[in-house]
Amino acid sequence: MTQAWAWRKSSRSAQTDNCVEVACTGVEVRVRDSKRRRGDIVAVTPAVWDSFLRSLVEASSARRAES
């Protein structure tokens, strides 16, 4: 029942709906396409989600350093 979860999306996506939404259940982090809210949901552990976010930050920092 997805309605019970507090879904959030990035404030940077305010102009478009080309993003994902995230809901933290306490046990796992769930991710869905904002345009297909009734579509598939990817669920990962908080540790996996944290690792994913860290890799994004590192990649972004590396691109800025190259510029």
For 5-39, the pLDDT digits (tens) are 899 887 766 666 678 899 999 899 999 988 888 88
pLDDT of residue 41: 93
55, 44 contact by CB (below 8 A): no
Residue 33 β-bridge partners: 20
pLDDT of residue 14: 64
Alpha-carbon distance 28 to 47, whole Å? 9
When pLDDT is averaged across residues 40-55 and rounded to a whole number, the result is 94
Of the two residues 45 and 9, the one the predictor is more confident about is 45
